[in-house]
């Protein structure tokens, strides 16, 4: 009897205390691979950070930098090499990131075949000679094989190191430097709200010139590491709100903007295709909150709302996909008296007015206020417009700056008009 009692007691202890995370049953979006919405920790395949050299051809290649991604690199013949990139784990969305450096003491032309495990070629390669200024590879030196899901490129290598990457690098240290620069403004405050799973700072930016705001705007980004164009858009959007215009100054005297620009610093620096260091898609963890990063962001947003005791008026999560698109969240997209939906549509109309040649692409096909994404959680929690603002992988960078800056202006106008009514 004593042994039975101890067994039952042990079982109860395990049931109540043995699990630190849970997984409610949730339905993924239409494009989510089966199993990808499970947000408990998963094993990942670590890449080996190293520099590889070829003694005969004098070619060197390295992934030894933040954001680097190269799992294997080998010579097929004297001028043809293969670069292999593996997803951190699977199932996974196909955002097949690559990023590595090449150089040689001998000037020469080489060809690279880009191969992928658990994915296929997606991004047009970007080149840089300093890791800062980037350009798209010449189309004559780039060929995609859709049958084999690979790509072949021609590169001229020499003493000057070539950075070869799916997108421009925008690593955690680059974010922290940007945040430091932005916080030099008197009305911008930065605060560490916690650490990622690997100990990297999660930083909140607060932009306001009033102690008594009439409302809050929440902006988050970079849940998915390769989505650099979305990161650029967030940066320009925030800089417009923190800018020197009379509109921005008036807005800051009425409202407070909260920005958490880098939700997944570990995944960004590890060169991941989509997940955090625990192998989880953070933008599917806004129901279960199994991951440290989503818990910290959630608690921070709730705390700010409680302390300021004012409504949250607008929420935006910045991402990237194949084209520019706004994914709208609403309980009823046809209901004319849905104030939340109407406010979103007014914002879109203002963006159109500022960019007459720009197509404001509104997509309601993924609308599901009960999904496990950040916009659904913010929509239901704060009862305000909450949407995903996606930028195309290959959208012109100047276009991103123009449209995202003007989108910020449109939002400031919208909310100022609202409080004046």
The predicted structure's pLDDT at residue 4: 46
CA distances from 243 to 29, 64, 272, 391 (A): 36, 36, 33, 22
Structure tokens at 80: 């043809």
Class of domain 172-420: alpha beta
d(CA 318, CA 232): 9
6 strand-pairing partners = none
Residue 193 burial class via C-beta count within 10 angstroms: exposed 0-12, middle 13-18, buried 19 and up? middle
Intervals of CATH 2.60.40.3120 along the chain: 51-165
pLDDT attached to residue 26: 66
Task: List the chain pLDDT tens, one digit each, 421 residues.
Answer: 444 444 444 444 333 333 445 656 666 677 788 888 999 999 999 999 999 999 999 999 999 999 999 999 999 998 899 999 999 999 999 999 999 999 999 999 999 999 999 999 999 999 999 999 999 999 999 999 999 999 999 999 999 999 999 999 999 999 999 999 999 999 999 999 999 999 999 999 999 999 999 999 999 999 999 999 999 999 999 999 999 999 999 999 999 999 999 999 999 999 999 999 999 999 999 999 999 999 999 999 999 999 999 999 999 999 999 999 999 988 776 666 688 999 999 999 999 999 999 999 999 877 788 899 999 999 999 999 999 999 999 999 999 999 999 999 999 999 999 988 7
For domain 51-165, the CATH class is mainly beta
The pLDDT score that the predictor gives to residue 6 is 42
- Rounded CA gap, 186 and 208, in Å? 9
Per-residue confidence (pLDDT) for residue 8, from 0 to 100: 42
Bond preceding residue 265 cis, omega within 30 of 0 = no
In the chain, CATH 3.40.630.10 covers: 172-420
The answer to whether the beta carbons of residues 240 and 330 sit under 8 Å apart is no
What is the value of pTM for the model shown? 0.93
Tell me how far apart the alpha carbons of residues 164 and 185 are, in angstroms, rounded to a whole number. 35
């Amino acid at each position: 009897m004593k042994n039975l009692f101890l067994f039952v007691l042990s079982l109860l202890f395990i049931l109540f205390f043995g699990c630190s995370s849970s997984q409610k049953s949730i339905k993924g979006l239409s494009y989510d691979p089966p199993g990808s919405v499970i947000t408990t920790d998963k094993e990942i395949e670590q890449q080996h950070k190293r520099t590889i050299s070829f003694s005969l051809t004098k070619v060197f290649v390295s992934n030894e930098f933040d954001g680097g991604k190269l799992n294997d690199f080998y010579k097929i013949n004297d001028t043809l090499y293969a670069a292999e990139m593996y997803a951190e784990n699977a199932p996974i969305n196909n955002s097949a990131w690559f990023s590595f450096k090449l150089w040689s003491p001998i000037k020469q032309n080489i060809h690279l075949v880009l191969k992928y495990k658990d994915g296929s070629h997606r991004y047009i390669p970007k080149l840089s000679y300093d890791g800062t200024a980037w350009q798209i590879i010449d189309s004559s030196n780039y060929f995609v094989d859709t049958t084999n899901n690979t790509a072949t490129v021609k590169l001229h290598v020499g003493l000057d190191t070539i950075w070869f990457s799916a997108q421009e690098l925008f690593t955690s240290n680059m974010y922290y430097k940007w945040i430091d620069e932005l916080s030099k403004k008197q009305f911008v405050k930065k605060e560490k709200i916690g650490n990622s799973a690997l100990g990297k700072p999660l930083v909140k930016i607060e932009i306001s010139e009033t102690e008594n705001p009439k409302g809050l705007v929440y902006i988050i980004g970079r849940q998915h590491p390769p989505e650099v164009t979305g990161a650029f858009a967030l940066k320009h959007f925030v800089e417009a709100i923190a800018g020197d215009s009379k509109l921005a100054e008036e807005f800051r005297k009425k409202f407070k903007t909260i920005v958490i620009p880098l939700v997944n610093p570990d995944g960004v620096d590890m060169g991941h295709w989509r997940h955090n260091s625990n192998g989880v898609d953070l933008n599917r963890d806004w129901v279960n909150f199994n991951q440290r990063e989503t818990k910290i962001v959630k608690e921070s947003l709730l705390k700010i709302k409680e302390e300021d005791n004012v409504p949250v008026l607008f929420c935006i999560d910045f991402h990237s996909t194949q084209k520019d698109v706004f994914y709208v969240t609403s309980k009823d997209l046809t209901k004319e008296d849905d104030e939340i939906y109407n406010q979103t549509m007014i914002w879109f109309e203002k963006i159109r007015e500022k960019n007459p040649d720009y197509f404001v692409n509104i997509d309601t096909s993924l609308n599901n206020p009960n999904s496990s994404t950040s916009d659904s959680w913010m929509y239901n929690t704060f009862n305000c417009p909450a949407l995903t603002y996606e930028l195309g992988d290959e959208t012109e960078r100047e276009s991103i700056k123009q449209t995202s800056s003007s989108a910020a202006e449109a939002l400031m106008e919208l909310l100022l008009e609202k409080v004046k009514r």
